Amino acid sequence: MSAASIPSMRSGRATPRDAVPRLEPEAFRQWVTDAPSAHKRVAALFGAPAEGERVELFAVLASDEEGLLHAASTVLVGDTFSSMTPDCPQVHLFEREIAETWGVVPEGHPWFKPVRFVRSGRPGRDAWNRTEAPVVGVMDFYRVEGDEVHEVAVGPVHAGVIEPGHFRFQCHGENVFHLEISLGYQHRGVERALLSGPTKRTIPYMETLAGDTTIGHTLAYCQVVEALGSARVPARAHALRGIALELERLANHVGNLGALAGDVGFLPTASFCGRLRGDFLNLTAMICGNRFGRALVRPGGANFDIDRERCTLMQERLRAALHDVKTSVELLWNSASVGARFEGTGTVSREVAEALGLVGVAARACGLERDVRHDHPSGIFRLAHIPVSVWHTGDVFARAYVRWLEIQRSCAFIEEQLRALPQGAVRGPSGPSDALGPNRLCVSLVEGWRGEICHVALTDDAGKFSTYKVIDPSFHNWTGLAMALREQQISDFPLCNKSFDLSYCGHDL
Amino acid sequence: MLKLLVARFQQGHRTAGYPDEPPSLPDRFRGGPALDSSKCPLGCRECIGACPTDALRSDGDGLALDMGRCLFCTECLQACPHGAIALTQEYRLATRKREDLVVRERVEPHSNVLDEKLRKLFGRSLKLRQVSAGGCNGCESDVNVLGTIVFDIGRFGIQMVASPRHADGLLITGPVTENMKLALKKTYDAVPAPKIVIAVGACAISGGPYVDHPEVHNGADAVVPVDLYVPGCPPHPFTILDGLLGLLGRLESHPSWAERFRETAQRVEAENLAEQLRWGVPRAEEAAKYLGGGIEGSAAKPEEREKAGRPETGA
């Protein structure tokens, strides 16, 4: 089959696996590497076991302008394939992940290193020919040589209350030539455990993939099983899920602006926003009792409903919180000392953002209009449109300012939803059937607060997950942070890091 | 500058009155469990089968729920057709012994004070290093908020410090991944003795949803000795704060505490009616019954609560 005839699909819809074309390796390579010039993005690229102990690669390309997705696969011949990274940099980490998981080598990969330091899923085959179990953080780090060059290594245990990761800077005085980020410390084996599911533990896995994105990941999963299990979700549940998703965004964005203020020593906003973040978390807790939205989103709908009185109370608290956020955040934009630290720091150009396939706030701060809620809407976002918030400077200021724009728009969206919640139940008369459709492929996209969350499920003959791939927005964006640090002062690392605000466990899974 | 002052004025005073005043918890907060095995028909295992982390078990003495494994989700509540399980508003869940996390009837707050020598040493100044060892950033976030103006742990002399060498102990979150095991051990070794370890969240206590994964070590005590367990997924910040203050003996010394909490107990129990939203009227009535003979009953018998020696907020 040629690449020209690859059928399109939509987010949150199941496709028979037969309908996903299997290309020859060379055609597959061409199709993927042509993606950027065809105005497509690589949303997912992963391996799955195929007949005869071989590995089948699947790619999902997103055509944002059309709101369409395209999936195709190829079966690898032998244990190597020709790396696509030199022609299409946005697949660089996907190829490293495939190599690590399946023990196949992408030949010609320019940055061929482990991702999570785990054993290969195919015993006896290791892409680096290691015989011992891999040790986390042990790899060939990029090094700049020279008399006046020095290296700074930070982590895995950091100074703050934060997840672990290892960062290595090549510095010339204060100036950073290059930052290499080595993760994997948080690897819990989620994707492996999801196989043969769903089980009773699947939902807790989703809720803790990245615990600060409970709603985002659980929603992406629910869309998968609802599509595979042919469930109808009531309108009221769609609205509640939308509200929860935006509350999650609000809490994290507000907390982030406070933390950015803290990183430049601007304490008023730091302390105000620290408290206000909790106000948004508490709004989520008003719905479901848990500040992170645990147990709220469930396949087929939502677990909790809110009555009129609670609706009104939530509206009042939301308005009060937004008012306080406004006074607190506007201090940032009116303080010259903050502007001096935010503007021109950690700049990522639009070209780099596009080449790396950045998503979410990091992409929108470079002027890329990428937002799943707009491009691939599902649930309530098919009916209620939130404008895409964009800024063009690509620096810390842009990432902060995009957050501020999104805070205002999310609040307006929640207000609107709370004012006119659809009537009816929050769970349909029948949830998704226990037996999911066999031999299907389903791609589900959700715009989490960090960016595009992509879940891809493949089911086997019995309707169980034979592959479940999770792509947290952080997976795309960590390299963006490394690029932002080039030619910056090393002392600006905390600020740049916070401005991306990426997930470690979402990356490590 | 003027704008700053205006903003500061508008933001007002935001620090919670706790522990002088009761904590403000969401009315749908899912806290410590209340079990009634007498409701369980012979051979019924609905809740046990539904629990994602196998926190529930049934033996000769009836149902038992291990809060160290419990995610405080709603699966068992929804699976039980007999109303034998309820989650109360009790937020004081921390214990010093792992086995004390197993609840058979109703969760009871434990006295968690350090022994006299350590309490004297740390009681007025405790510096902790936080280590996330596979945590999902849920527990980390709710530990982080203790530093905000709402909880302001600084006022109790507690501080999160940047280096283990400056610390009196570790606060560990996450199931302890294989890839963090060595780093955790090294961090522990770098803390000067005497030192304490606090495990926060289901993952750090038992592995949580990741229990028995080959990639994790089922919690902090596989690597280091633990002095305080704070259950939850994630625990509410007030649960963590209560655990820390209890450990330092800062709650017992509070004279007005018991008195004030009784009022909240009554208020919160009345608000338990809101449970109807969640579980329907029969479930809410069941839940209220576990909370001390129904809503009216609990309000009418304050002296019994006094006798129990502990203030009651659990509703």
Return contacts of B50-57, CB within 8 angstroms, 24+ apart: B50/A200, B50/B75, B50/B76, B50/B78, B50/B79, B51/A200, B51/B75, B51/B76, B52/A200, B52/A201, B52/A203, B52/A204, B52/B209, B53/A201, B53/A204, B53/B202, B53/B206, B53/B208, B53/B209, B53/B211, B54/B211
Q: In this structure, what is the dihedral angle of CA atoms B172, B178, B181, B182, given to the nearest 10 degrees? A: -150
Please tell me the predicted confidence (pLDDT) of residue B306: 39
Q: Which of A158, A185, A190 best probes binding to B when mutated, by most B CB atoms within 10 angstroms?
A: A185
Q: Which residue of chain A has the CA closest to B167?
A: A159
> Which among A185, A278, A294 has CB closest to B233?
A294
CA distances from A418 to A414, A449, B219 (A): 6, 20, 41
Domains annotated on chain A, with CATH: 3-107 (3.30.460.80), 190-508 (1.10.645.10)
CB contact under 8 A, B130 and A116: no
Q: Which residues contact B183 (CB under 8 A, 6 or more apart)?
A: A156, A157, A164, A185, B131, B133
Q: Which residue of chain B has the CA closest to A290?
A: B29
Residues of A in contact with B277 (CB under 8 A): 304-307, 310
Domain ranges of chain B: 116-247, 257-307
Q: Which residue of chain A has the CA closest to B16?
A: A275
Whether B214 has its CB under 8 Å from any CB of chain A: the answer is yes
Residue A100: HSE in the Cβ half-sphere, 13 Å Cα cutoff: 20
Structure tokens at A104: 């196949």
Neighbours of B199 (CB within 10 A): 30
Answer whether A141's CB lies under 8 Å from A482's CB.
Answer: no
CB contact under 8 A, A156 and B175: no
Q: Identify the segments of chain B with pLDDT beneath 50.
A: 255-258, 260, 270-315
* Alpha carbon of A273: minimum distance to chain B alpha carbons (Å): 9
Answer whether B58's CB lies under 8 Å from B45's CB.
Answer: yes
pLDDT tens for residues B75-99?
Answer: 888 888 888 888 888 888 999 999 9
Please tell me the predicted confidence (pLDDT) of residue B265: 53
In angstroms, the CA A234 to CA A360 distance is 28
Residues of B in contact with A216 (CB under 8 A): none
The count of residues in chain B is: 315
Q: Which of residues 163-192 of B touch A (CB under 8 A)?
A: 163-164, 174-175, 177-180, 183, 187
pLDDT tens for residues B131-148?
Answer: 999 999 999 999 999 999
At A102, give phi and psi (nearest 5°).
-115, 0
CB contact under 8 A, B234 and A205: no
In angstroms, the CA B240 to CA B153 distance is 11
Residues of B in contact with A330 (CB under 8 A): 3
Whether B15 has its CB under 8 Å from any CB of chain A: the answer is no
Answer whether A121's CB lies under 8 Å from A102's CB.
Answer: yes
Answer whether A59's CB lies under 8 Å from A69's CB.
Answer: no
In angstroms, the CA A368 to CA A391 distance is 8
> Which among A161, A184, A288 has CB closest to B28?
A288
| pTM listed for this prediction | 0.91
Q: Which residues contact A25 (CB under 8 A, 6 or more apart)?
A: A74, A75, A76, A77, A81, A82
A257 alpha-carbon distance from chain centroid: 19
pLDDT per residue of chain A (509 residues) written in tens, 0 to 9: 555 678 899 999 999 999 999 999 999 999 999 999 999 999 999 999 998 889 999 999 999 999 999 999 999 988 999 999 999 999 999 999 999 999 999 999 999 999 999 998 888 888 898 888 899 988 899 999 998 999 999 989 988 889 999 999 999 999 999 999 999 999 999 999 999 989 999 999 999 999 999 999 999 999 999 999 888 899 999 999 999 999 999 999 999 999 999 999 999 999 999 999 999 999 999 999 999 999 999 998 998 999 888 999 999 999 999 999 999 999 999 999 999 999 999 999 999 999 999 999 999 999 999 999 999 999 999 999 999 999 999 999 999 999 999 999 999 999 999 999 998 888 877 667 778 899 999 999 999 999 999 999 999 999 999 999 999 999 999 999 999 999 999 999 999 999 999 999 999 99
In angstroms, the CA B237 to CA B91 distance is 9
pLDDT tens for residues B107-125?
Answer: 888 888 888 888 888 989 9
Q: Which CATH architecture has domain B116-247?
A: 3-Layer(aba) Sandwich (3.40)
Neighbours of B82 (CB within 10 A): 14
Please tell me the predicted confidence (pLDDT) of residue A53: 87
Please tell me the predicted confidence (pLDDT) of residue B287: 45
